[in-house]
């Protein structure tokens, strides 16, 4: 009976650990949004391994110890890996590393040369070339089947499109996001109200696994290649030779590696890299030790999950304990309200930390962070101080949950929580903290197109208290502008003329210029064309707006929330009083017999008779659907001068193509 109880207890523990670890794996691999730090996963994984070793009959088929990576997302094309892309075994101390090396050398029967490399904190990537030309890029996936990300890898600058030699081969390595790019991306995401990435690895994975390659292209990804598949085909016999061979072909390879003949040299390398890791431009989370001789690697082979000839030494987490003394709420230029923990200063990863972003309300509530709590800090991406976990057994008895603000700390207006956003946001167009950003956007070319009103001029206007919102632009006089630095009579007249001309814009420009969340140029045009003027749009319901083709509930929620705000009504009234047009001046609805109705059209190249936005608006008014990419569903490509890849793709798919002269005739 005792044995049965022990086995039942072990089974319950294994079941709970498998469920928890698989949830964390989905968050990490599939959703690119982990909820726990790597070392928490590692400790829990080791607990499962120990239980499964003691009770092998209880090992489940869905245990994370029996698989690699995670499932392939359904939106990606599957790519089989003829040579599986395995993960690595982990050790967490020098003693464990020495035990691994001793077992390996005992099995080989002689000392072994090791190639020691940095463990890049990124996403595994396979690249395939045919006669020197890149033909396929794929993720690891579950190790046997990955995801086709070829279009995305073509946007990564250090991946060669053509090799220096016309060879057919496969290489593997790591796609990563540099620390500086990670910090910039997270700052931009928080300004947009989106959740920040937890670490550079998930930022890289989320960027590489995009359905739109243009998003990937903006993410500053980079790579290090470290595996040459089938090296014997190229006369390569060691890992060091493989790296040199790949570098000669044009691949990025990491220079920080050594060949070590004994464990003392490996220990010295680990100590040096541990000390220097904060200074690197990219994140590393450990050191990889592998057999240098490639034929010996092949002879040693693999287990079901990991190679026997390599191991990853994982760095211990760099954490520090401190106490949260306050939570400050500040508003950014885009209206996002961000909480910051004010803490007792503590040394962490080379700097003294006294403040850490808490990102958003969901983050505070999910971790249950309270004033007075002792928390563990780490640096996300080795840069950004962040709370890992609350030390619950040190929580004061009288602690209460954090107070979430309901009004803007800058202007006092009510905060909103728009659908699809994790951030609290102030949407008051006259909020002092946001005015400069709003004025810059309002004056931009695609909005009200006030030529000559750039950020430097706007900064002077605000500094001299000549404007407090966008409506104040229409009250400026020559005397006001004469006081600006380096502003002469011609500049004054030109700016006043540009401001005056903008009064006559069709209302979709104003609608876009107001900076309503989710309402871009296209949505603004659709709304203006549908309602005819701003007055009718302001009284429309969420249901009315979301029913419009091309809009949907997210835009409808953002638009109605904004347009029902009392401060917005005040602003619109001021614009109206200043003579700013509030009606739609675009073309009438497309006639039923228009040749363009229902046609899917793509525009590419440069035109002399009209701008791309003007042409898009004109074709849309005639009933066409203008899209950004060519596919089998495209009915027509309009090609101007210097048309590039879209023209080539249209010709390959047999899509009809017309030039500017023929287009003018059709219009």
Among 85-89, 365-369, 581-585, 612-616, the minimum mean pLDDT is found in: 612-616
Distance between CA atoms of residues 231 and 224, nearest Å:
17
End-to-end CA distance of the chain, in Å? Answer: 88
Least confident stretch, 51-55, 172-176, 189-193, 538-542:
189-193
The pLDDT of residue 333: 73
The secondary structure of 513-557 as a DSSP string is HTT-TT--HHHHHHHHHHHSBHHHHHT--HHHHHTSTTT-HHHHH
The Cα–Cα gap between 68 and 144 comes to 9
The Cα-based distances of 446 to 203, 521, 525 in angstroms read 30, 8, 12
Q: In the predicted model, is pLDDT for residue 543 greater than 60?
A: yes
- Residue 416: phi and psi, rounded to 5, are -125, 160
Instruction: Count CA atoms closer than 13 A to 114's CA, side-chain side.
Output: 27
Among residues of the chain, what percentage have pLDDT more than 90? Answer: 49
Residue 1 binned pLDDT confidence (cut-offs 50, 70, 90): very low
Q: How far, in whole angstroms, is CA 195 from its chain's centroid?
A: 10
- Which among 203, 87, 198, 207 is positioned nearest to 153, based on CA atoms? 207
Furthest-apart CA atoms within the chain: distance in Å: 98
Q: Which of 387, 328, 390, 322 is nearest to 352 (CA)?
A: 322
- The catalytically annotated residue of 11, 78, 119, 131 is 119
Q: What is the pLDDT of residues 62-92, one digit of tens each?
A: 887 776 555 556 678 899 999 999 989 999 8
Nearest Cα neighbor of 245 from 125, 163, 175, 300 is 163
Which residue has better confidence, 212 or 444? Answer: 444
Q: How many CB atoms lie within 10 A of CB 58?
A: 15
Top-ranked range on mean pLDDT: pick from 274-283, 575-584, 585-594: 575-584
Active site residue 464: no
272-331: pLDDT as tens digits: 998 888 889 998 989 999 999 999 999 999 987 889 999 999 988 788 999 999 999 988
In the chain the domains, ranked by start, together with CATH numbers, are 2-66 (1.10.287.610), 78-314 (3.30.470.30), 320-394 (2.40.50.140), 427-577 (1.10.150.20), 600-666 (3.40.50.10190)
Please provide the average confidence, as pLDDT, over all residues in the chain: 88
In the predicted structure, residue 657 carries a pLDDT above the cut 60: yes
Q: Which residues contact 138 (CB under 8 A, 6 or more apart)?
A: 79, 81, 125, 126, 128, 146, 147, 148, 149, 150
Beta-carbon contacts of residue 87 (< 8 Å; ≥ 6 apart):
68, 69, 143, 305, 306
- pTM score above 0.85: no
Other beta carbons within 10 angstroms of residue 37's beta carbon come to 19
- pLDDT bin (cut points 50, 70, 90) of residue 168 is very high
Both structure tokens of 644: 């590039």
Q: What is the mean pLDDT of residues 337-365?
A: 89
Assign 103 a pLDDT band (cuts: 50, 70, 90). Answer: very high
Beta strand 78-80 with 145-147 is antiparallel
- Please report the pLDDT score of residue 382 as a whole number: 63
């Amino acid at each position: 009976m005792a044995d049965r109880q022990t086995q039942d207890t072990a089974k319950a523990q294994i079941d709970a650990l498998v469920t928890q670890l698989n949830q964390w794996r989905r968050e990490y691999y599939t959703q690119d949004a982990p909820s726990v730090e790597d070392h928490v996963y590692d400790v829990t994984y080791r607990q499962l391994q120990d239980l499964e070793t003691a009770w092998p009959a209880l090992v489940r088929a869905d245990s994370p110890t029996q698989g690699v990576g995670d499932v392939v997302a359904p939106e990606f094309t599957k790519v089989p890996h003829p040579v599986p892309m395995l993960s690595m075994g982990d050790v967490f101390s020098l003693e464990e590393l020495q035990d691994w090396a001793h077992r390996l050398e005992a099995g080989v029967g002689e000392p072994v040369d090791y190639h020691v490399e940095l463990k890049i904190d990124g996403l595994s990537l396979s690249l395939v070339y045919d006669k020197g030309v890149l033909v396929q890029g794929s993720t690891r996936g579950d190790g046997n089947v990955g995801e086709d990300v070829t279009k995305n890898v073509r946007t990564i600058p250090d991946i060669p499109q053509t090799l220096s030699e016309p060879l057919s081969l496969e290489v593997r390595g790591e796609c990563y996001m540099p620390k500086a790019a990670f910090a910039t991306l997270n700052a931009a995401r928080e300004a947009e109200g989106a959740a920040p990435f937890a670490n550079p690895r998930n930022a890289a994975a989320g960027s590489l696994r995009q359905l739109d390659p243009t998003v990937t292209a903006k993410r500053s990804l980079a790579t290090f290649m470290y595996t040459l598949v089938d090296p014997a085909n190229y006369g390569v016999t060691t890992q060091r030779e493989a790296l040199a061979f790949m570098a000669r072909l044009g691949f990025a390879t990491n220079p920080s590696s050594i060949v070590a003949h004994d464990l003392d040299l490996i220990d010295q390398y680990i100590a040096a890299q541990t000390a220097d890791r904060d200074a690197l431009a990219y994140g590393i989370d450990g050191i990889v030790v592998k057999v240098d001789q490639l034929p010996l690697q092949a002879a040693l082979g693999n287990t079901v999950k990991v190679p026997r000839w390599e191991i990853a030494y994982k760095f211990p987490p760099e954490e520090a304990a401190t106490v949260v003394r306050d939570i400050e709420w500040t508003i950014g230029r885009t209206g996002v309200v961000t909480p910051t923990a004010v803490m007792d200063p503590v040394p962490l990863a080379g700097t003294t930390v006294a403040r850490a972003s808490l990102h958003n309300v969901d983050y505070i509530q999910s971790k249950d962070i309270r004033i007075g709590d002792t928390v563990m800090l780490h640096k996300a991406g080795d840069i950004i101080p962040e709370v890992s976990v609350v030390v619950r057994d040190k929580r004061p008895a009288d602690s209460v949950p954090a107070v979430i603000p309901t009004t803007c700390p800058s202007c006092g207006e009510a905060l909103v929580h728009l659908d699809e956003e994790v951030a609290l946001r102030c949407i008051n167009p006259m909020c002092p903290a946001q005015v400069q950003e709003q004025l810059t956007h309002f004056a931009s070319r695609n909005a009200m197109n006030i030529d000559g009103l750039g950020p430097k001029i706007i900064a002077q206007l605000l500094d001299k208290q000549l404007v407090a919102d966008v409506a104040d632009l229409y009250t400026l006089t020559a005397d006001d502008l004469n006081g600006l630095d380096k502003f002469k009579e011609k500049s004054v007249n030109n700016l006043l003329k540009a401001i005056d001309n903008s009064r006559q814009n069709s209302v979709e420009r104003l609608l876009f210029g107001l900076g309503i969340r989710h309402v871009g140029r296209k949505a603004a045009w659709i709304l203006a064309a549908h309602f005819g003027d701003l007055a009718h749009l302001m009284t429309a319901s969420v249901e009315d707006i979301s029913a419009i083709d091309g809009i949907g509930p997210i835009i409808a929620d953002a638009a109605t929330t904004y347009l029902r705000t009392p401060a917005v009504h005040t602003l619109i009234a001021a614009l109206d009083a200043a003579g700013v047009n509030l009606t739609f001046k675009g073309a009438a609805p497309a006639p039923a017999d228009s040749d363009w109705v229902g046609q899917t059209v793509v525009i590419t190249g440069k035109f002399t008779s009209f701008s791309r936005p003007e042409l898009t608006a004109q074709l849309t008014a005639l009933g066409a659907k203008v899209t950004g990419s060519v596919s089998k569903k495209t009915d027509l490509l309009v090609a101007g001068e210097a048309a590039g890849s879209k023209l080539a793709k249209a010709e390959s798919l047999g899509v009809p193509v017309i030039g500017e002269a023929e287009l003018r005739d059709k219009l």
